[in-house]
Amino acid sequence: MSGLVLRLAGPLQSWGERSAFTPDRDTAPFPTRSALIGMFAAAEGITRHDTSGLDRYRALEFTVRVDRPGTRLVDYHTVGGGQPKDNTAATSGGSNKGAAVITRRHYLADAVFVVAVTGPDETIEGIAGALHQPYWSPYLGRRSCVPDEPLMLHTHASDPAAELLHHVPLSPDPTRPMPTNGTVPVTFLWERPPAATDGTDSLTVNDVPRSFAPHGRSHDRRRLFRTVHHLPVQLAASPQSLHRQLIDYATKEVAA
């Protein structure tokens, strides 16, 4: 078993937890399992209709470090207004809606998450190679949400969760004072309960993908464990030094 370390950052992110297209399209406050697996499948060229192709991702385990939770933003969104009926949005029955489709789409602005992905070596190597040269480009929940660089920080980590705890530079958070010594409290989300924390609470999310088919999306539930870990202050980067520290961390693997 080995793993990847990914950094999910960008102007906007949106991690929908609902499989249905509703007028109010919310976002989870962290990257969902469904979205991450969808990113990997797209990079490897697995289509939405290939349900069996998702089987290779079942053994993956995700750990999320919340560097910066971001600010929730809601966009009033319209599609197909002011057009003849034949040019408006299509319906599932093969017709057209005849009017503008109005939705309110939720985003996380200026959020940063670092994700440890652990799994079988063959699966991890395939994902890493695909993210370097993706069949379809990765995005942060929606196609309009382009990731910052670097996206991949580590491709052969023996213990990727430990990298989050001890080595990956911590992005600054305007709501969190820049410490000068001691430790920094940071929220983590785990798929299995960790040891030695200040307290653990659990939550249930509906984000395990069974199918990405456009008219047959379905998901199962999973349980997550939320903790706060006090990370070494040496991991905390200033806005001016963050990018250089991330590049230095990512290139250590190449040099090794």
CA–CA gap between residue 91 and residue 215 (Å, rounded): 11
pLDDT value of position 248: 93
Summarize pLDDT for 61-110 with one digit per residue, the tens.
Answer: 999 999 999 999 998 877 776 667 667 667 666 677 666 777 788 999 99
CA–CA gap between residue 53 and residue 38 (Å, rounded): 11
- Based on its alpha-carbon atoms, the radius of gyration of the chain, rounded to whole angstroms, reads 19
**78 in helix, strand or coil?**
strand
Query: Which residues partner with 202 through β-bridges?
Result: 225
pLDDT value of position 32: 96
Summarize pLDDT for 183-208 with one digit per residue, the tens.
Answer: 999 999 999 888 766 678 999 999 99
pLDDT value of position 114: 98
248 CB-near residues (< 8 Å, 6+ apart): none
Q: DSSP H helical segments within 119-241, as ranges? A: 121-132, 160-166
CA–CA gap between residue 247 and residue 201 (Å, rounded): 34
Q: Which residue has the tokens 């290139």?
A: 251
pLDDT value of position 256: 52
Given a cut of 70, the residues of the chain with pLDDT beneath it are: 18-21, 81-83, 85-86, 88-89, 91-94, 97-99, 196-198, 253-256
